[in-house]
Structure 1
Amino acid sequence: MEWSGLSLKNLKTLGERSATGMDSERGVYVISVRVMSNPLRDYIYANDVILGFNRQEINNLTQLKAAIRQADTNKPVQILIFRNQKKMQLTIPGNIIKPTTD
């Protein structure tokens, strides 16, 4: 899935778990970030795993899409990610996150 300059997929393989340090196959894996066109580039990086969006648990792309559709992205949004072997709570300013196109 492409979204707001991020290339995303469900975290599924042992190799992806190893690359991210995750303990199980859950969350949404950030494969790559298009730097030039991406307003999220200062917040979300390649190899991050998205585990929460606006206080909703995220285990897969379907849940992430639903959470994005429900969010008021004109206001700041909380995103829980897994990076460098630990969970991190990010606050993304309003108007940076774009709706999904599906």
Structure 2
Amino acid sequence: MESIEPKSSDTPLDQIPEQPFSLPQGCILDTDAHIPTKCIARYHGFGQRAGFGLPRPTIIPVHVVVFNDDLLGVIWIDFEDFTLYSRVKETFTTNNMQMGPSCL
């Protein structure tokens, strides 16, 4: 994946045909969620990652995969790791945020 040269496209996202998707061999899946076998877009970029075992936040190359309007995945190239993100559908109100004073 690191050797793939990014290319830009003028095609609107809603006009890009679905593409087949599968995780690269050796990529660690950190979720037990169902991973779609088709995606609508892929992007090269950079992501910031920090967590257990990492002494400080690190900017690393990523491959972002858009599955639909509510689901995307990120392949963290240097870590050979895949994370899946979904849109939050919860409506947050002041009733949900009783932990402290409002910042608003």
Q: Which has the higher contact order (CA 8 A, sep 6+)?
A: 1
Q: TM-score, normalised by structure 2?
A: 0.29
Q: Name the one with the larger helix percent.
A: 1
Structure with max Cα Rg: 2
Q: TM-score, normalised by structure 1?
A: 0.30
